[in-house]
Structure 1
Amino acid sequence: MAVKEPLHYQIDTAAKHSKRIEEMLNYVNSVRAGICIERARYVTESYRQTENLPYIMRRAKALENTLKNMTLYILPGSLLVGNQASKPNSSPLFPEFTVDFLEEEIFEGKPYFPDERPADKFEVDKNTLSELKETLEWWHGRTHKEKVYAMLSEEAVLSQDSIGAVNIVNFLHGGDGHLSPPYDWLFEHGLRYMIDQCTEKLKQVDFACPEGMEKKRFYEASIVSMQAVIDLAQRYARLAEIEAEKNQDQQRKLELRELARICRKVPEHPADSFHEALQFMTFVQFAIQIEDNAQGICPGRFDQVLLDHYQHDIAAGVITREEALELVQNFFVCLSTVERIRSWEDTDYFRGKPIFQNMTIGGTDPETGLDATNELTYLVLDAIANTRTVQPSHYARWHKGAPEKYKMKVAEVIRLGTGFPAISNDDLYIPAMLNRGYEYQDAADYCIVGCAEPGVAGLRGGRTGAAWFCLAKVFEMALYNGFDTRSNVSLNPNQNGKDLTNFESFEELWSAFEDQAKYYVKLAVIMDNTTDKLWEEYMEEPLTSVLGCPTTTIERGRSLKRGGAKYDFSGNETIGLANVANSLYAIKQLVFEQKQITGAQLLHALKTDFSDITTNPTGPEIQQMCLTVPKYGNDIDEVDYIARDVLALICEEFPKYKNTRYGRGPIGGVFQASTTTVSSNTPFGRITGTLPDGRKRGTPVSDGQSPMRGTDTEGPTAAVKSVSKIRNVILSEGSLYNLKFLPQDLKD
């Protein structure tokens, strides 16, 4: 009889579901992803009727019309309500951003029909095609993307559409997101209080002041938007009452009546229980998503903002831990229904349809500096282990004083294989934020508001994930004197006029790379600021602004795009660090120090993708030389320090530039860098040629600040040591290191 191998990888550990959660998960998972026309219908209907109004009011009225008319539903057995489309897993459409890819894909199948995509498919109801076609056609000449392209310089357009070194397509299709509302403040006050604040501020507007009209528009649009959310909650209350009357199950009838009572109360009024607070949060999450179409609408420090309600209800006997756990899992299932359709091109950068509704747990108390883990922290970890939904996504803050019990629990949940929770290091993030001007208590209260970007709930505006920046592509052009061999476009010849055939020293090579890096940083800034300026003029979002940063936007009478937040930064995502570091080191070793090959020989090998066997040495032999040179990720100082210097160049160059909110109120107002990449290293790899690190043309480049795949041969400890040599204190927009293990690596 064969002896079964002991379990050494916990992916086979069964999830524990209540009957309610199991039925909800089964139902949601059975519904295929689709496209919902409703939002496009009601937004277009509103825009047709409001051409005489300021754009911020047009945005408010469009949201109002959508929330008033959209289809509502309650998931089977759910104790919470909230949806963004007529069915779970359906994506609303946002034609005010762009319609080009929708028309090409839905009606022409270019490059695929949405339901025939190789991945991330969406079904389309053919009965809606006639209405959809007419709706999208109305937006021709009116979309955000068209306005941006009309304003961008030719260089910026070529850098994205021809060369591909930078890319801002994601923010031409949807909103900024990347923020967390201050839920503890919202729970305490409610939307009616905020409407009253805006009404009182409106009475105080001084129209003799140049900003008077701007404030008037903001307050009026905010009032309309918040009242629309209150009215939406009342619609859900009526729906719950109707379903209660029809339901024959007495327990479910009572649940629906209680749900109706809660919807009558929140978010209009303060939340007084754990259940009320969760429903309040659910309403806000969905309402902002419907307005913004963004990634990163985040619940923030979930175990901190809901702790008081949880502890009060536990102590009063209102709820048990098991009931609270079920409610949190119910919340996870609701948020898992959120979908966003991207163009097929943009989907390549976001495979798996991530929405980044990040929940953050753990960390420290910003007042005392002491560990802040609590009973709700562990409850959330249990909920992650039990539901295993792709959304919401999760981060666990990590610091030296965190309890061993917490660290082990986090590790156990990660071993389930879902990738959650990710880890954020307080000992790096907090100093990095202080380095950019955050006050200590704010920095210590950070949560993750995007892929890996830190922010402060209720205080952070701006675009944390801005233009993608492909270091590997930028470096490639330095080798060819600023010329892109794929597109035959040259925007910026090296200042020394040289390429790899005639660089006389490593210093000349570095100088050329520095020229290209600074040039494309500037183009990324141009793309971001153009997008933001037009956003300010045409795409202001009153609800996102007033719920995202209520204490500052209401006081200032400004939306986020006009400087309403306490802190405001524009970020970027840097891709291909390891390839550039390894390539620089390979050239330094092979061409300048060991002189095994000339620069001309290497450049020919790159042009021919290491395939020319007629040369001496041959292309394959040169590739092997390149692969044999030591690589970043093995705790080798010389190459690791090159990686450090490459990233420092970018991190120090971006903050030299100001964003459109600079000098208008917020602290910051500058650009800052990150190494968050999602899946963009794959499409950027397709447009990046052969590199001196041995990587062949068209293959994926490295992600984040991780070593290049297969090159970190000395084990995880050496790799971590290499990554730790990066000057993380200047990576204030987020550091991403993906450390992956095979199941067989995790033996007992």
Structure 2
Amino acid sequence: MKILDISNVSVSPRIQGLIDELFKGKPQIEWERAALVTESYRSTENLPTVLRKAKALEHVLHNLPIVIRENELIVGNLTKAPFSTQAFPEYSYKWLLDEFETLGLRKGDVFEISEESKSKLREAFTYWDGKTVNELATQYMYPETRTAIERNMFTVGNYYFNGVGHIGVDYAKVLKVGFNGIIKEATDEMENADRNCPDFIKKRNFLEAVIITAKAAIRFAQRFAELAESLAAQTSGIRSQELLRIAQNCKRVPAEPAKDFYEAIQSFWFVQAIIQIESNGHSISPLRFDQYMYPYYIEDIKSNKLTKESAQELLDCLWVKFNDINKVRDEGSTKGFGGYPMFQNLIVGGQDKTGLDATNELSIACLEATEHTKLPQPSISIRVWNKSPDEFLMKAAEVSRVGLGMPAYYNDEVIIPALVSRGLTFEDARDYGIIGCVEPQKGGKTEGWHDAAFFNLARVMELMLNNGCDNGLQLGPKSGDVTSFTTFDQLMDAYKEQMEYFVSLLANADNAVDLAHSERAPLPFLSSMVEDCIGRGKSVQEGGAIYNFTGPQGVGVANVADSMEVLKELVYDKKLYTIQQIKAAMACNFEGMGTVTASPMGSITRTDIENIVSKLTEGGKKITQEQASMLTALVEGLSKVGNAAGENVECTRLMNDINAVPKFGNDINSVDLMAKEVALVYCKEVEKHKNPRNGSFQPGLYPVSANVPMGSQTGATPDGRKSGEPLADGVSPISGRDINGPTAAANSVAMLDHASASNGTLFNQKFHPSALSGQAGLEKLSALVRGFFDQKGMHVQYNVVGRETLLEAQKNPDAYKNLVVRVAGYSAHFVALDKTLQDDIIARTEQVF
């Protein structure tokens, strides 16, 4: 296969102007969608939920303000202001109401909101009290589940407060038949359905909802055609002709099949935009864009309808549009999703359904668009297998060297078998794309519920070390007093017992949120493009998709692995320390002399304290200030007083011994196998559970950027990590501990059972730019990828930026507004990140070859 050479195509003045316009001001929170949805819901009280959702989207698409920005060739906006957001009160709203006055004061992900928007949103919010998805989900959770969330064992906040998203629809279907074709399909299904079937009424309601939303999408496009014609009449020359072509496109698509590359791109964008308008779920991912768009691209190139340069400019325009989509999250969530990420993952390359290499000219053009625009969206990725062309991998390495943290690299040889093991057909598995950060999915057939939760593996270890007790509260099962354990196997068994319990609560939380979405937030527009929702007469939220999963991810693999290796070697193998001494050092955060004195009250608990208070306050008595102070001291002491009475340890000596224990990330078999085991403990527990959509749970091992806030919620760990410090990033080694070079780190990560973590694993590496200089640097990076993948690694991505650049950007953010870095499974503008995330990126090991 010969790949067209477009490496010399540079970004046009049009594209640069669009980029400049996109980021010239702070993002806004606009009010129109929330008001329109609320207005519609007030008028449809007696209708079934799915029809209420359809009519609400219809009302929004008919009335949302539309704009065509100067020099745009691809149209379709969600907001009047660029890079701004609407509100979605049907999911949750109270957090937004509480943060109106602080949105502009955040340390990261700052938004502005006008007084008009505040007033309009307050008015809309009054309708939604008691009606949101969030409130229903809370009612479905067990009390102990809510307590575990409050105690930071895991969080399901992603879908608890927002739409689900994390899906790739059948874009090819819309390009091929248009929404008129989808309307016909739904109409035929309704006419041919068995009216005597007990489910016919629900099926009819869903199909009617599909038809309503499809017609609304067509009308939305027609509004842009009318606006373009109006603007064309007010201008002249080239721009007038451009506007008339935009009007022509919008009159045809997405109603009808696309007849050329330009129409295909415009049709694609309407789908992408309207999915975001219907629900604020992020990670709406284009998936294998280079496959379903290629026929239109190559036909226009061969027929001379488009030149390579004009086709590239259309792609570049689309890349800018991806960055026009934004989302506001609560301030706490921004610490786990920092940098305004939308996770629109677009993947190129790999093999086709028959097992032949699928890399084509458009694969390269997509990489070029990322290199030209230098924007964080789309989150571009590539599929690699043993027959991927060398020139394709070299082009990817060239884009990596630009320093955007993209593309991410994915291994067909691991992902395809992993998906088959979860029930996908071989053909569907070969046709996978990546959702959001790192999650494999067969587009157009799957409701994957990826990124369903962040699960703190290090907190499970904390509970194991304290017999299930968390600062005086018996939060987990009593898995055994670790000070009485005589073997490491007993310790691992206790870890497994805690894991089993908390994963079961995680499953309850996810299923509670899942049920709430199915009851209050079915999405007929989205579902119309996912097989077999129309045939089954169900939305994806109700189980209409062919494949149904729930994918929570574990965070802190390396921390638990290094910690368990320390305990195994220092306590059980070499017997240099007792576990009491390790806990004593942890209690004083590895500083000074770790001492735990004997307590005359022994194993006092918070319940005991509460009983004392009850006795003191019998008959309405008030406790004295002195008594209150004593009780406070007792409570605070619970976190430091365990069963390690009388143990002392000098922390400097202990830290030296801890540092001498092998660490994950250095190609050392013992600790790498430990990492494999502790990760599998989590994975095997997760996959035992089922979801309400007749599907199964599948585990992932990636954090987005939640490793930073989760670390702030976790005490000191036996590996020498201090309280509050970030947890390890994905399946990457802990920052600064992978000291044997990039190949050794890759070898360690490859030791994990990536296929078991079929919801995705995330491996970050950082290189100094000098390491990738010249042709030799590109060849080394390409060889590193192939070597890692030959050992069954699943995914890897690279930050190519010097530490000195990042530090300077912290000091002078205005001079580095365009600096894009890889945060986790996504890239973002560095200066938009909270400082804690910036510090985490700076701290990552800077590799050289």
TM-score above 0.5, yes or no:
yes
Residue in structure 2 matched with residue 58 of structure 1 by the alignment: 52
Partner Cα separation in structure 1 for residue 670 and residue 423 of structure 2 = 32
Q: Give, in whole Å, the separation in 1 of the partners of 2:478 and 2:487.
A: 15
**Matching of residue 199 in structure 1 with residue 225 in structure 2:** no
CA contact (8 A) 2:683 2:699 kept: yes
Instruction: Give 1:202 deviation, angstroms.
Output: 1.7
Q: Which moved further from structure 2: 470-479 or 269-278?
A: 470-479
CA distance in 1, matches of 2:373, 2:221: 26
Is residue 2:528 matched to residue 1:502?
no
Question: Whole-Å Cα distance in 1 between the matches of residues 195 and 123 of structure 2?
Answer: 41
The one of 25, 31, 35 equivalent to 1:41 is 35
The structural deviation recorded for 1:527 is 0.6
Q: Which runs of 5+ in 1 are unaligned?
A: 1-12, 663-668
> 1:374-385 to 2 correspondence within 5 Å?
374-385=360-371
Instruction: Give the Cα–Cα distance (whole angstroms) in 2 for the partners of residues 689 and 624 of structure 1.
Output: 20
Cα distance, 1:185 vs. partner? 2.0
- For 2:470, the aligned partner's letter is D
Question: How big is the shift at 1:600?
Answer: 0.6
Equivalences for residues 69-108 of structure 1 within 5 A: 69-106=63-100
Structure 1: distance between partners of 2:588 and 2:282? 40
What amino acid maps onto 1:733 in structure 2?
A: N
Task: Name the residue aligned to 2:628.
Answer: none
1:590 to 567, 570, 587: 570
Matching of residues 599-610 of structure 1 within 5 Å: 599-610=579-590
- Between the aligned partners of 2:337 and 2:24, the Cα distance in structure 1 is 23
Listed as ranges, the gaps of 5+ residues in structure 2 are 1-6, 596-647, 775-849
Task: Tell me if structure 1 keeps the 8 A contact 2:138–2:512.
Answer: no
Is 1:579 aligned to residue 611 of structure 2? no
Cα shift at 1:14: 12
> Is residue 30–residue 117 contact of structure 2 (8 Å, CA) maintained in 1?
no
Shift of 1:34: 1.2
Partner of 1:530: 512
In the alignment, which of 106, 112, 118 is matched to residue 129 of structure 1?
Answer: 118
Q: 8 Å contact 1:202–1:219 — kept in the other structure?
A: yes
Once the two structures are TM-superposed, the CA of residue 627 in structure 1 deviates from its matched residue by 2.5
Matches within 5 A, 1:114-513: 114-161=103-150, 163-248=151-236, 250-367=237-354, 369-485=355-471, 488-495=472-479, 497-499=480-482, 501-513=483-495
Residue identity opposite 1:184 in structure 2: A
1:360 and 1:437 map into 2 onto residues whose CA distance is 22
CA distance in 2, matches of 1:561, 1:17: 41
Cα distance in 1 for partners of 2:60, 2:554 equals 37
Q: Secondary structure in 1 aligned to 2:765?
A: coil
The separation in 2 between residues aligned to 1:659 and 1:128, in whole angstroms, is: 38
Question: In structure 2, how many angstroms separate the alpha carbons of the residues matched to 1:461 and 1:440?
Answer: 18
Contact 2:9 2:309 (8 Å CA) reproduced: no
Q: Structure 2 matches for 1:625-636, cutoff 5 A?
A: 625-636=657-668
Cα deviation digits, residues 209-266 of structure 1 (max 9, x gap):
2211220111011111111110000001001001101113x11111100110110000
Q: Is the 8 A contact 1:236 1:263 kept in 2?
A: yes
Change (3 A) 1:745 1:317: closer
Counterpart for residue 713 of structure 2: 687
2:378 aligned partner, one-letter code: P
Cα deviation per residue 1:415-455 (whole Å; 9 max; x = unaligned)? Answer: 11101111111111111111111111111111101210011
Deviation string 1:544-572 (CA, Å, 9 cap, x unpaired) is: 1112x1x4111111111222111111101
Q: Give how far 1:686 is off.
A: 0.6
Tell me the CA shift for residue 15 of structure 1: 9.6
Counterpart contact for 2:36–2:56, Cα < 8 Å: yes
TM-score between the two structures when normalised by the length of structure 2: 0.83
Q: Are 1:565 and 2:545 matched, yes or no? A: yes
Choose 580-589 or 615-624, whichever is displaced more: 615-624
Q: C-alpha offsets along residues 27-75 of structure 1, whole Å, 9 cap, x if unaligned?
A: 1121321101111110111111111011111111111111111111112
Give the whole-Å Cα distance in 1 for the aligned partners of 2:652 and 2:272: 54
CA distance in 1, matches of 2:307, 2:758: 40
- The equivalent residue for 2:61 is 67
Deviation at 1:671, TM superposition (A): 0.2
Normalised by the length of structure 1, the TM-score is: 0.94
Shift of 1:713: 0.9
Aligned equivalents of 1:505, 1:211: Cα separation in 2: 57
Other-structure match for 2:633: none
Which amino acid in 2 is paired with 1:154?
P
Using the alignment, how far apart are the partners of 1:647 and 1:636 within structure 2?
Answer: 17
In structure 1, the partner of 2:627 is none
Whether contact under 8 Å (1:435, 1:730) holds in the other structure is no
Cα deviation, residue 130, structure 1: 1.9
Offset of 1:297 from its aligned partner?
0.8
Change (3 A) 1:15 1:87: farther
Report if aligned partners of 1:84, 1:290 keep a CA contact under 8 Å in 2. yes
Corresponding position: 1:674 with 2:700: yes
Matches within 5 A, 1:665-744: 669-744=695-770
Deviation string for 1:127-164 (max 9, x for gaps)? 23222212222211111111111221111111112x11
Cα distance change on mapping 1:614 and 1:447 into 2, 3 Å: closer
Aligned partner letter, 1:699: E
| Structure 1 Cα separation of the partners of residues 650 and 85 of structure 2 | 52
Aligned pair count? 716
Residues 569, 671 of structure 1: 8 Å contact kept: yes
Matched residue type, 2:535: E
Deviations 1:515-564 (A, max 9, x none): 111111111110111111121111111111112x1x41111111112221
- Determine whether 1:519 maps to 2:501: yes
- Structure 2 CA distance, aligned partners of 1:466 and 1:566? 19
